[in-house]
Structure 1
Amino acid sequence: MIQIIGSKKCRATKKAKRFFSERGIGFQDFDLKTHRLSPGELSNIAKSVPPEELIDSDGDFYRKAGYQWREYDPLEEILEHPELLKTPVVRAAGSAVCGDAPNVWSEFARREKG
């Protein structure tokens, strides 16, 4: 099962949902505004995506909170402030990709269709 982690306002998350919907592939929608990632879920994602790449360094929260000047543990900060997560995160069969990645989504779609 495909899982799409993001927010309803995120354009890239909407794009990922549309991508899988257009191909008739079901997915689980995980909205970060209503649910928090558990440490285990984040750890599983970090097995596929380096923790530094999970941080949205172009986001408003990152800049406003001064993260560009801080030393921090990306995983701890994402658990504390989910708005730092670069979205969407698309998970499938033990793999994950973060951000706008239609090439990888295509691979996930092929695997899902069998």
Structure 2
Amino acid sequence: MNIQIFGTKKCFDTKKAERYFKERGVKYQFVDMKAKEMSKGELNSVKQAVGGLENMLDPDCKDQDALALVKYIDEASKLEKVLENQQILKTPMVRNGKQATIGYQAEVWKAWN
């Protein structure tokens, strides 16, 4: 397994995801999205795995203005706007090769072993 966890150090679910993999002895790479944002390729990979950009947006994010903008602009501009405003994404985003999940999803991760 090649696990990547995208999230922030203050996110409770991100901490739970890290603990899940640590307790099972699974090596993972933590990417702090406050320090290093996702690349376009990483974002596209997760987007494909979870069924689209809409599933990645956090309706409870702090930046409601950016979220509203992304929801109402044309499809072609959405990805670029999300790349500029990654704080509107749900965390953690956990990637394992071509597979990915949004949020804490231990049941799905179990199947990855």
Shared fold by TM > 0.5? yes
8 Å Cα contact 2:66/2:85 also seen in 1: no
Output the amino acid matched with 2:80: E
Query: Residue 72 of structure 2 aligns with which residue?
Result: 71
Question: Separation in 1 of the partners of 2:34 and 2:68?
Answer: 24
Query: Residue 29 of structure 2 aligns with which residue?
Result: 28
Q: Number of aligned pairs?
A: 107
Question: Separation in 2 of the partners of 1:66 and 1:75?
Answer: 12
1:35-87: CA deviation from partner (whole Å, max 9, x where unpaired): 011111111111101210111111222x3x16347503542232011101100
Question: Separation in 1 of the partners of 2:34 and 2:57?
Answer: 17
Runs of 5+ in structure 2 lacking a partner? none
**Which shifted more, 69-78 or 46-55?**
69-78
**Which shifted more, 76-85 or 65-74?**
65-74
Query: Residue 42 of structure 2 aligns with which residue?
Result: 41
Question: Separation in 1 of the partners of 2:85 and 2:68?
Answer: 15
Instruction: Say which SS state the counterpart of residue 87 (structure 1) adopts.
Output: coil
Query: Residue 59 of structure 2 aligns with which residue?
Result: 57
Instruction: Say which SS state the counterpart of residue 80 (structure 2) adopts.
Output: helix
Runs of 5+ in structure 1 lacking a partner? none
Question: Separation in 2 of the partners of 1:66 and 1:78?
Answer: 8
Mapped pair 1:88 → 2:89:
no
Question: Separation in 1 of the partners of 2:72 and 2:57?
Answer: 13
Question: Separation in 2 of the partners of 1:88 and 1:66?
Answer: 19
8 Å Cα contact 1:77/1:84 also seen in 2: no
User: CA-atom RMSD, angstroms?
Assistant: 1.6
